[in-house]
A and B are shown apart, each in its own frame.
Chain A
Amino acid sequence: MGPELFTPTLYETLFPAGISRYAVGGLLVGLGAVVIYLGTGIAAGASTFLESTLSYVSELERFQQYRASRDWRIVFTLGIVAGAFVYALTFQSGLVSSGLYQPGTTGQLREVGGVTLWLTDVQPWRLLLGGLLVGIGTRIGKGCTSGHGVCGVGSASKTSIIGVITFLLVAIVTAQIVMALQVTP
């Protein structure tokens, strides 16, 4: 799919940064999940890590039920952090470039020892409060953007499709209200 399929103005309005970095990134996210699935049969999500890691410090049954998977979930999360750092070392730092990758204009870039780090402008209170609600909601709702959104939708699970539609609609309404209240950044 390319710009020629749309009138240029509509395409630029909907996708001001193009689609290739999004599509390539999404395919890689799916590929990462598939690599784990092929080897282990596990359809992994990112948010169970929160509760499984809490089983190290709390005896609550709610957390202890994830005891068997808590070690590999830490390894999965460390892999995600490391993979994003490899991206930071290469494309984000400009060491590698590609026609499929368009750099962004958001946030702050900071050079530290030859690596370009990226920092958000979004205020800490929004991150903390939003994170708190995400942490509560993902565990009550049985999944997050990766568990429901990637593995659940990929499984054609009705529960996951309903879950994704629910959090997507509520997130859009919330973000629109935040914008209308002129909370920025």
Chain B
Amino acid sequence: MNGRHPLFMPLIFVGGLIFGFGLGFSHMARPEVVLNFLQFEDFGLLFVMGGAAVVTGLAFALVPRLRDRAPLTGDTYGRRLKSFDRNVLIGGSIFGVGWGLSGICPGAAYASLGVGNVTILWAIAGMFAGAYLQGIWRSRRARQETTPAGAD
């Protein structure tokens, strides 16, 4: 916590609050609504992701031109850029099967808990288990690649 601006945590909380309220208001926190979209019964969900991306797109394009550094961290304003490799396709496909089966993704799952949907704890437990399993697998594989001959 040393060196963090006193408003850092409150601001993160307020951002999460607005984010979660939006997920509740849009009904994206309801798996049924996501499934209705994926099954072509209600295309409204396009406006949730589209609307959100337009707002962040404007901010990410404009803010770095107006200011150099973020007031609470002193960090320079950048964009969210990640390198491309086949993991994006593999992981995206696994994510897609899970999303299409359950109608739930991480942010929406947290918000679903907030609207009272305790049943969603099944999905959250699954997500933690999945994140844990891939961590184990990938760590083991990375170790095998660096020490090929009979490592543990």
List chain A positions with a Cβ less than 8 A from chain B. 14-19, 21-47, 49-51, 53-54, 58, 60-63, 71-72, 75-88, 91-92, 101, 104, 106-107, 110, 112, 115-122, 124, 126-160, 162-164, 166-179, 185
Q: Which of A82, A101, A154 has the most CB of B within 10 A?
A: A154
Q: Which residues of A contact B13 (CB under 8 A)?
A: 75-76, 78-79, 82
Interface SS of A by simple majority: helix
A18 to chain B, nearest CB (A): 7
B48 to A58, Cβ gap below 8 A?
A: no
Number of A-B contacts (CB under 8 A): 554
- A32-B18, A131-B122 known; A38+B63 contact, CB < 8 A: yes
Instruction: Give residues in B with beta carbon < 8 Å to A.
Output: 1, 7-9, 11-33, 35-36, 38-39, 41-57, 59-60, 63, 69-73, 75-84, 87-120, 122-136, 138-139
B47 in contact with A26 (CB, 8 Å): yes
Contact call A61/B96, Cβ cutoff below 8 A: no
Give the shortest distance, in Å, between A56 (CB) and chain B (any CB). Answer: 12
For this complex, 23 residue pairs linking A to B, each with C-beta atoms less than 8 Å apart, are A16-B42, A25-B22, A27-B55, A28-B22, A29-B22, A29-B28, A35-B15, A38-B70, A80-B16, A84-B20, A86-B17, A88-B115, A129-B98, A131-B124, A135-B98, A135-B126, A137-B97, A145-B49, A150-B49, A152-B82, A159-B82, A163-B92, A171-B38
Assess whether B102 is in contact with A32, with CB atoms less than 8 Å apart: no
Q: Which residues of B contact A170 (CB under 8 A)?
A: 92-93, 95-97, 100
